[in-house]
Structure 1
Amino acid sequence: MKTHISPAIRLTLVMLVLVAVIYPLVVLGIAKLAPGGGSGEKVVVNGKVVGYALIGQKFTEDRYFNSRPSAVEYNAAGSAGSNKGPSNPDYLKVVQARIDTFMVHNPGVQKVDIPAELVTASGSGLDPDLSPAAANIQVARIAKVRGIAAERLNQLVAEHTKGPLLGLFGPSTVNVLKLNVALDALK
């Protein structure tokens, strides 16, 4: 019995030190190398933190690029999806309402041209990014409201488009918070 318990206790202690001490310290060290030093990438305007680049925020005014909808109302403490499938009648009503709202605020846009991410929430409910197509489809509305040339807004979207990781992995994205901060700076 002693030959079985002693190795089990030693293995438990070794694993405890490995996964409860060494691993978290390695992850913390790597996080310190990331933007924001592991505390998230703060977006600062005039010395004031206006948000975090990796957490979606609600932008619904016509003068801003709208964010992707959130199933949790952008509450970072309660990250979650809606858990409703694509055939759920309640979910379909919510998506249709989002489509109708988008078309009212973007009158020149056809329903088939609306990117899905503008009317469906992400799995986390906190997605901070849009595709370049989802940002570009909003340009006409913002150009009209702000009196800025659409070409300048298209250029702004292009400047804030981040390509796939290593040029291979994932889609191109546009961070909505950073784009809207740059939009306000165009004055």
Structure 2
Amino acid sequence: MSHLRPALVLLLLFTALTGIVYPLALTGVAAAIFPQQAGGSLIVQDGKIVGSRLIGQNFASDVYFHPRPSATTAPDPNDAGKTVDAPYNAANSAGSNLGPTSKTLVERVKAAAEAKTAEGWTSPLPADALTTSASGLDPDISPAYALAQIPRVAEARGLDAAKLRALVTAQTKRRWLGLIGEPRVNVLALNIALDAFHARQ
């Protein structure tokens, strides 16, 4: 017992410290210093949560800016043993896991490029307009991809393309400290700003 008791006491002590006290303290500090981020970076509109800056949503209508392609899937309602495409399915975050030598990937990107070209897009096409992200839930797109969508959105909404270009520029996040990361546009934030801008016109 003289050896067992100290071991049990230390086990209980460190379980309490590392399993309860430390996580609660870290959560409290994070909530105090970064309340928005610690709360999930939620976007609230008219008192309702409409999404998060961290998780993309599937915008398919021509009146909105579209996110990058998503490879997430969901169970096939007609056959539980199969899956169907379900873009931006947050319950099944995953990439396609297709490598650069994959024939399926090459054919999919080629088909996407041909579709964009048929819509009037000009080369070079932004990479994120054709390829999926590793999570399938990427909330951001490149400024180039956002700018390339302006003619479609402007026509669908009857808005001036130059004003939409200014809106995209205003929503573009720059590199942190001018060095880290890439310029990016949050699609949900951009579309919320787009709705507000259109309502004012």
Residue 90 of structure 1 aligns with which residue?
A: 104
User: Alpha-carbon deviation of 1:83?
Assistant: 1.0
What's the CA shift string for 1:22-58, capped at 9, x where partnerless?
Answer: 3311331244243536332222333333222210111
Residue 27 of structure 1 aligns with which residue?
A: 26
CA distance in 2, matches of 1:126, 1:39: 18
1:80 lines up with 2:94 in the alignment = yes
Secondary structure of 1:186's partner? helix
User: Alpha-carbon deviation of 1:150?
Assistant: 1.5
Task: Give the total of aligned pairs.
Answer: 183
Residue 51 of structure 2 aligns with which residue?
A: 51
Secondary structure of 1:153's partner? helix
CA distance in 2, matches of 1:170, 1:69: 21
Paired letter, 1:186: F
Query: Hey, which of these two has a bigger chunk of strand by percent?
Result: 2
CA distance in 2, matches of 1:68, 1:37: 23
Residue 182 of structure 1 aligns with which residue?
A: 193
CA distance in 2, matches of 1:32, 1:166: 24
Secondary structure of 2:50's partner? strand
Secondary structure of 2:197's partner? coil
Residue 75 of structure 2 aligns with which residue?
A: none
Identity %: 45
Residue 122 of structure 1 aligns with which residue?
A: 133
CA distance in 2, matches of 1:67, 1:129: 7
Paired letter, 2:94: A
CA distance in 2, matches of 1:165, 1:25: 29
How does the TM-score come out when normalised to structure 2?
0.79
Deviates more, 1:25-34 or 1:151-160: 25-34
CA distance in 1, matches of 2:44, 2:105: 36
Q: CA RMSD in A?
A: 2.3
CA distance in 2, matches of 1:104, 1:27: 52
Residue 155 of structure 1 aligns with which residue?
A: 166
User: Alpha-carbon deviation of 1:142?
Assistant: 1.5
Unaligned runs of 5+ in 2: 73-86
Deviates more, 1:174-183 or 1:13-22: 13-22
Unaligned runs of 5+ in 1: none
Paired letter, 1:164: R
